[in-house]
Amino acid sequence: MNKILDFIDLTKGEDEKQVVLENVKSNISFRGANLWILACAIVVASVGLNVNSTAVIIGAMLISPLMSPIIGAGFALGIYDFGLLKKSLKNLLIATFVSLAVSTIYFYLSPFKETQSELLARTSPNIYDILIAFFGGLVGVIAITRKEKGNPIPGVAIATALMPPLCTAGYGLAIGNLRFFGGALYLYTINCVFICVATFLIVKFLKYPRIKTFEKAREKQITYAISILTIILVLPSIYFAYTLFEERKFDQKVSTFIQNEFVDNGFTVIYKKTRFKTNPKSIEVAFLSKKFTDFEKVELNQKMKIYGLANTELKIRQDTTNLKQDILNQIKNEKTNLNEKDVLISSLKKEIQDNKYDNNSLLAEAKILFPSLTDISISNHPFNSGKEKIEIIPVVIYTSTKPLSTTDAEKLTLWVKTRIKKEKIDVFWKNS
């Protein structure tokens, strides 16, 4: 047992407590160089979030000095140094306001305001973010108390991720989205508090000398205050984690339902959108050619219960035009000359045949502009545009390794219109 305790003993390799405290105090202040480094790191992180580059975001986290005042606050609580606590919190507030100001200005001036996945990931914190902050903070403070600092410090800067939430909060302010701002600021607060709590626990465990001595009752009050703050932050994150878990389960059930009922039956799904937070939940799908009757729709909605998709509505988007029936109805109701209809049908067939496209050439050209494309095909389809008028509209279906961004999708549509000299086309993406 002694060997095991000796093996996990944290006091081994520990630096002198006074030296550690001096190092912590010296890195708290945000003035001069530290402030400039912070502002530059915020700009780098904002650019990374703006262009959805994980590597750039990681680089910004490595150069950020934001963690120092949080560690200082944890040490101050552990040794009851309220002067150090006040200084740490003051510098943390300065750093936070500077970071928010710089990121808000950047995103306000940036011409690209699309909400990238890296930004979205920082708007809905959950219990896992608490675990990352807490254990990342433990690693950070343990490394700080060692004689040999080693490699953990850069890893802690990346894991605890203080910069991206602040930049995301600035993005929320810049575009006027208070939900993004609140979610990102909540994640930032979680990270700060749990790094501080982890530091407090390690300082207590390593028995750093107290600056002030209080009565037991006063110490309990301080401990209770920390505990209450921790619980207040933990409870919403548990709810968010539960919601995330339920949403992932819902998405998985939807994928199974679509695979079994549509894809395995040979129907090509060209569009899918799910809504988890509505009541009832909904699944919206569209198909390349298959049309479902009202009876089939009712049957499919009933089948969803088998897949655990109760309280979920299936919406099928499809062209309700039936050219054959429309023509027959016109013949019956308006007593139109059958020969005129034959001429109409023949002219439609001829127009469809005359407008054939060289898909191979189109793909070769398109891949130069959009490298992620793997296939593209265009074919003409008749659509009833109302008032007894039938139009031939080119339908474009492309496949790619990943969905094109909104900007690239618009560029592709404009390019195809120019290339085939058509004003009106329909474009659909199919997963490759």
CATH number at residue 100: 1.20.1080
Most confident range, picked from 102-106, 123-127, 262-266: 102-106
Closest CA to 396 of 354, 362, 432, 353: 362
CA dist 75 and 98 (Å) reads 24
CB neighbourhood size of 2 (10 A):
6
Q: What would you report as the CA-atom Rg of the chain, rounded to the nearest whole angstrom?
A: 31
Residue 239 domain-assigned (yes or no): no
Query: Considering the domain boundaries, does residue 229 fall inside one?
Result: no
Number of compact structural domains in the chain:
3
CA gap 60, 56 in Å, rounded = 6
State residue 96's pLDDT score: 92
Q: Is the pLDDT of residue 103 over 90?
A: yes
3-state secondary structure of 28: coil
327 part of a folded domain: no
Reported as a pLDDT band with limits 50, 70 and 90, residue 106 is very high
Model pLDDT, residue 191: 86
Indicate if 204 and 264 belong to the same structural domain. Answer: no
**Residues 382 and 312 grouped into a single domain:** no
Q: Considering the domain boundaries, does residue 413 fall inside one?
A: yes
For 320, phi then psi, to 5°, come to: -80, 0
Judge whether residue 22 has pLDDT over 70: yes
Residue 68 and residue 207: Cα distance in Å, rounded?
A: 21
* DSSP code for 115: -
Whole-number pLDDT of residue 353: 52
pLDDT attached to residue 90: 92
Same domain, 33 and 164: yes
Q: Coil, strand, or helix at residue 274? A: strand
| Strands lying side by side in the sheet with 312-317 | 269-275, 281-287, 312-317
The reply to whether 209 and 253 lie within a common domain is no
CA pair distance 342, 398, nearest whole angstrom:
34
User: Which of 108 and 119 is assigned the larger pLDDT?
Assistant: 108
pLDDT (tens digit per residue) in 276-309: 878 888 888 888 777 788 888 888 888 888 888 8
Q: Assess whether 281 and 198 both reside in one domain.
A: no
Residues 26 and 126 in one domain: yes
User: Are residues 153 and 300 located together in one domain of the fold?
Assistant: no
Question: Which residue, 295, 317, 339, sits at the end of a domain?
Answer: 317
Position 374, amino acid: T
The better pLDDT of the pair 401, 107 is held by 107
Per-residue pLDDT at 179 exceeds 60: yes
Does 341 reside within a domain? no
pLDDT of residue 154 exceeding 60: no
137 and 193, same domain (yes or no): yes
DSSP string, 371-414: TTEEEEEEEEEEEEEETTEEEEEEEEEEEESSPPPHHHHHHHHH
pTM: 0.60
Q: Among 121-125, 200-204, 312-316, whose mean pLDDT is lowest?
A: 121-125
Residue at a domain's end among 317, 344, 376:
317
Residue 400, domain extent: 354-431
Residue 332 lies in a domain: no
Cβ–Cβ under 8 Å, residues 92 and 70? yes
Sequence-distant (≥ 6) Cβ neighbours of residue 270 within 8 angstroms: 286, 287, 288, 397, 428, 429, 430
pLDDT, tens digit, 9 for 90 and up, residues 385-420: 555 556 777 888 888 877 778 788 888 888 888 887
- Cα 291 from chain centroid (whole Å): 34
Does residue 380 come out as left (phi exceeding 0), alpha (psi in the -120 to 50 range) or beta? beta
Q: Around Cβ 1, how many Cβ atoms within 10 Å?
A: 5
Is it the case that residue 273 has pLDDT exceeding 80?
Answer: yes
Contacts of 144 by beta carbon, 8 Å cutoff, 6+ apart: 20, 23, 24, 71, 153
Q: Do 69 and 98 meet the contact criterion of CB atoms below 8 Å apart?
A: no
- Whether 179 and 64 map to the same domain: the answer is yes
CA 2 → CA 5, 202, 229, distances in Å?
5, 21, 37
> Letter for the amino acid at 357?
Y
Nearest to 45 by CA among 192, 152, 140, 166: 166
Residue type, 140: G
Q: What is the CATH number of the domain that holds 272?
A: 3.30.300
Question: Of the segments 84-93, 153-162, 201-210, which one has the largest average pLDDT value?
Answer: 84-93
Same domain for 85 and 34 = yes
Do 134 and 269 lie in a common domain? no
CATH of the domain at 423: 3.30.300.30
Give the number of C-alpha atoms closer than 13 A to the C-alpha of residue 91, restricted to the C-beta side. 26
Of the candidates 292, 317, 342, which is a domain's last residue?
317
Whether residue 412 is found in the same domain as residue 304: no
The answer, yes or no, to whether residue 75 has pLDDT greater than 80, is yes
* CB of 13 closer than 8 Å to CB of 152: no
323 pLDDT exceeds 80?
no
Q: Give CA–CA dist 346/325, Å, rounded.
A: 16
Supply the DSSP symbol for 16. Answer: P
Q: How far apart are CA 116 and CA 53, in angstroms?
A: 10
φ, ψ of residue 147 in degrees (nearest 5): -65, -45
Which of the two residues, 390 and 66, has the higher pLDDT score? Answer: 66
Whether 235 maps to a domain, the answer reads: no
Inside any domain, residue 323? no
CA distance 234 to 316: 40
Report d(CA 119, CA 149) in Å as an integer: 32
